[in-house]
Structure 1
Amino acid sequence: MSEGARILVVDDDADMLRLLSMRLQAAGYSVTAVASAEAALAQLAVGRPQLVLSDVRLPGRDGLGLFEDIRHQHPSLPVILLTAHGTIPDAVDATARGVFGYLTKPYDPRELLEKIAQAVALGSDAEQQVAHDETWRAEIISRSSRMAELLAEARMVARSDASVLLRGDSGSGKELLARAIHKASPRARKPFVAVNCGAIPEALLESELFGHVKGAFTDAVANHKGLFLAADGGTLLLDEIGDMPPALQVKLLRVLQERTVRPLGSSQSLPVDVRIVSATHRDLDAAMASGQFRQDLYYRLNVVTITLPSLGERREDIPLLANHFLHRLAAKYGRRLSGFAPEALRALAAAPWPGNVRQLYNVVEQVCAISTTALVPLALVQRALRVSTVEVQTYADAKRRFEREYLVGLLKLTDGNVSDAARLAGRNRTEFYRLLQKNELTPGLFKGDGAAPSPDGDSAERSPVKGKET
């Protein structure tokens, strides 16, 4: 048993709460007792225990609801539920979703203590393993308490095969965390494969993910096994999963359910064993509400959620990251740089970082390339920060912006005539309409002569494309 382990006990029955507290304290545990799920969540915000022991029947949010909140906020924190006979099916379902265990009332005190000891020991072993083996997270530079807790949760999650959804702003380090989870998992010796779902055109993404056989389409001159099969036995990161087209979401869901992949043009499905980590900076709840993201796929991917803090939420890490990047880049450029002047480091720590760690790396690279002294001065940092106020975009964001600007240009050129615009774009009208809807563009608003557009968006009278008259 881990002496003095901290346990949070939740029960609205005052007598039961008192009895549980006495028994656990007698067994050497440190106990915090509360009477509701809301009070438990408030206590978790103050300090993290090593175990939560909760009754299922609670006023307001019940024990199962509390478990769901804990699962999202603290995936590695074990939860034991105490249930009455009528709630056993719910508890069994919760066990399948990750609750450590459940006991029925009236419970056997010896069985309860054994179950608690198992849960606490599991957590302690994991913490000791993390303390002695940091190679799995070597690429993640941090000393902040916020990141320390996040990494502890990631290390615990890595030991299972549960699908993980990484949330966080662009540039916050989601791919680095996904790689760390892979390295800490039993799959570490197998491949880690990453794909940005927003950076590959829709027509190619299916083939890229699931593969194709020779002759499946015009350019399929050889068999291609696809990224799922390339990651077989290992981990597949689906980055920017929120940008995946709806039609492919259906096919992805089928692959996750059946654990088989059918390459394009093939009549046979191939078994595949892949652990899925997905990442997004989008609000998937809003995407589901608008019909852009499938709810069933969301729940399949979102077994465990880990949310990365922005760089502004972990400012104590900025000097550490800045010096780490400086030494790495100095070696890359062959420069003799020893660090930042104190006032330069203070300026970095106080600056806004909308582009997060990626933006910080960019700023450090700029000063590294032009610094003429061993210590980077404040003036160079201020200059780089001014340049970096230009919006930092991901490739997917830049691609979306270009697509919209391109469509706007075509509609202006053709006075809102969809047929002519589609022809210039080399797309059929149906596909072109989908692009317009995706970018929330209305062809009639681009009609230069003010005439009302016809129902299909074309001009009422067809006119030649500007610049094409002879």
Structure 2
Amino acid sequence: MSPANKPAESTGPRLLVVDDDADLLRLLSLRLTAAGYQVTTVTSAESALTQLEIEHPQLVLSDVRLPGRDGLQLFDEIRKRHPALPVILLTAHGTIPDAVEATARGVFTYLTKPYDARELLDKIAQALALGAPAPTAGKSGDESWRSEIVSRSNRMAELLAEARMVAKSDASVLLRGDSGAGKELLARAIHRASARADKPFVAVNCGAIPEALLESELFGHVKGAFTDAVANHKGLFQQADGGTLLLDEIGDMPPALQVKLLRVLQERAVRPVGSTQSIAVDVRIISATHRDLDAAMEAGQFREDLYYRLNVVTLSLPPLSARREDIPLLANHFLHRLSSKYGKRLSGFAPEALKALTTAPWPGNVRQLFNVVEQVCALSSSPLIPLALVQRALRSPSVEVQTYAEAKQRFEREYLVGLLKLTDGNVADAARLADRNRTEFYRLLQKHMLTPGHFKAEAPSGGSDAVADERRG
């Protein structure tokens, strides 16, 4: 028998079967091939590890008792190299305790010999449904543009195919989708697949920056444009020159800035606050929103001419609940990414825990899933995440897990922004409200890179240049 025997009659998922019993190996191969699987058979753990480097199966089925390295040692090595690859063990009654221990370490399941053929096929189908897809051999370079997007669902495959086609053009793209669905990741993928990939990708959340600050952030300002403008400042359009600018949550952009943005898109030039000169920019615009822009236009909250300028091509991201086959893959991806952050050796989720994640509603989409996985990762005391811990995280509000220092830093910045808004950027008044002297308050502002002049109230009429003139006067 050759070291790796590969029947090629089927085109279904590929399985790697490991057993030193030639007769059992032949029987397994026939049954699995008849069930529609592509089957590769090997007779030792060493041959299995070699075969894993040649091809990429979607599941490994192995006997526990093997010559040399046994099935449990093989599983440990597979988990190191391919942490999301599901493994099923076949075991004799004498090795059941070892197999039970292996499931606690992350083996999908074990079956006792003589095994029931129907049960074996059912377990394989379950593991494939909850496991990771095989990478496509020889195409990793082709897929590097979307490396941050973890997915195996048909809906996402169709969306990514559209995104890759769109990336070849310079057309403006509008990304629609619920909060937390991954719009910024898709925007980055489009940028990487475009001819602008070696130029900057710059993202700005239009709803997270105060209106008085947003214009300066987008278009820049010149020295002396307003109080505390002590130097020229390049806006995000100039920073993204030659590359891509993502205008996230474009539906939250104030109406006055919508007019100025439209002018920039039409003229392909920006005029910094306080300047009389325009600066040419070459930027590909991707915008994103979770709002219904059609309803916003009807309500007079969003300009129709800007909408059609931005919406040359629309791509809609499905909610996580519409791509449930991606949930186990994403959960394991996040778990292995976060395990190093918390200094833990985590092997995966118990099958019941993974099922609970797969069937949860996920109103917060991928972002909520990440937060839940971070919670269980931080709290887990065993290598395999149990069902109880997942249920606890799903019942509690899915808040972002932060260290005390991170939470303090965020609160401090938000507190300072609130004071500056309240006092229209008057440092003396803000410091008085905070019960701090001005020197200490200025140090806090510098620490968080906050410019008081950005929060000063503008005149009720006139453009930004008129405001700048008034401030200089």
| Same fold flag (TM > 0.5) | yes
Counterpart position of 1:187: 196
**Residue 388 (structure 1) shift:** 3.0
Counterpart position of 1:252: 261
Select which of 306, 310, 323 maps to 2:315: 306
For the pair 1:279 / 2:282, whether they are aligned, the reply is no
Counterpart position of 1:356: 365
Q: Distance between the aligned counterparts of 2:383 and 2:274, measured in 1? A: 59
Contact map agreement 1:213 1:264 (CA 8 A) in 2: yes
Can you give the 5+ residue segments of structure 1 that lack an aligned partner in the other structure? 1-128, 393-398, 411-423, 432-470
Contact map agreement 1:336 1:374 (CA 8 A) in 2: yes
Select which of 337, 345, 351 maps to 1:336: 345
Contact map agreement 2:270 2:281 (CA 8 A) in 1: yes
SS of 2:358's equivalent in the other structure is helix
Distance 1:288 1:353, change over 3 A: same
SS of 1:332's equivalent in the other structure is coil
Counterpart position of 2:9: none
Q: Distance between the aligned counterparts of 1:306 and 1:260, measured in 2? A: 26
Can you give the 5+ residue segments of structure 2 that lack an aligned partner in the other structure? 1-137, 402-410, 423-432, 434-454, 461-473
Q: Distance between the aligned counterparts of 2:157 and 2:139, measured in 1? A: 11
SS of 1:151's equivalent in the other structure is helix
Q: Distance between the aligned counterparts of 2:275 and 2:235, measured in 1? A: 13
Matches within 5 A, 1:281-430: 281-388=290-397
RMSD (Å), alpha carbons: 2.8
Q: Distance between the aligned counterparts of 1:248 and 1:255, measured in 2? A: 11
SS of 2:287's equivalent in the other structure is strand
Counterpart position of 2:154: 145
Q: Distance between the aligned counterparts of 1:391 and 1:335, measured in 2? A: 19
Matches within 5 A, 1:122-201: 133-201=142-210
Q: Distance between the aligned counterparts of 2:191 and 2:458, measured in 1? A: 44
Matches within 5 A, 1:98-117: none
Q: Distance between the aligned counterparts of 1:321 and 1:241, measured in 2? A: 27
Counterpart position of 1:210: 219
Kindly provide the amino acid, as one letter, of the partner of residue 179 in structure 1.
R
Kindly provide the amino acid, as one letter, of the partner of residue 391 in structure 2.
Q
Contact map agreement 1:363 1:388 (CA 8 A) in 2: no
Distance 1:226 1:130, change over 3 A: farther
SS of 2:246's equivalent in the other structure is strand
Distance 1:429 1:266, change over 3 A: closer
Q: Distance between the aligned counterparts of 2:458 and 2:152, measured in 1? A: 54
Distance 1:227 1:428, change over 3 A: closer
Distance 1:130 1:268, change over 3 A: farther
Distance 1:374 1:259, change over 3 A: same
Select which of 225, 235, 239 maps to 2:234: 225
Distance 1:287 1:152, change over 3 A: same
Counterpart position of 1:48: none
Q: Distance between the aligned counterparts of 2:375 and 2:457, measured in 1? A: 45
Q: Distance between the aligned counterparts of 2:321 and 2:340, measured in 1? A: 27
Distance 1:350 1:295, change over 3 A: same
Kindly provide the amino acid, as one letter, of the partner of residue 306 in structure 1.
L
Give the ranges of 4+ consecutive aligned residues of structure 1 lying more than 2 Å apart after TM superposition.
Answer: 129-132, 388-392, 426-431
**Residue 331 (structure 1) shift:** 1.5
* CA shift digits 1:12-31 (9 cap, x unpaired): xxxxxxxxxxxxxxxxxxxx
* CA shift digits 1:360-409 (9 cap, x unpaired): 000000000010111000000000001136799xxxxxx9xx99xx9xxx
Distance 1:184 1:341, change over 3 A: same
Give the aligned length.
278
Kindly provide the amino acid, as one letter, of the partner of residue 196 in structure 1.
N
Contact map agreement 1:130 1:152 (CA 8 A) in 2: no
Q: Distance between the aligned counterparts of 1:381 and 1:190, measured in 2? A: 41
* CA shift digits 1:443-462 (9 cap, x unpaired): xxxxxxxxxxxxxxxxxxxx
* CA shift digits 1:30-76 (9 cap, x unpaired): xxxxxxxxxxxxxxxxxxxxxxxxxxxxxxxxxxxxxxxxxxxxxxx
Counterpart position of 1:453: none
SS of 1:166's equivalent in the other structure is strand
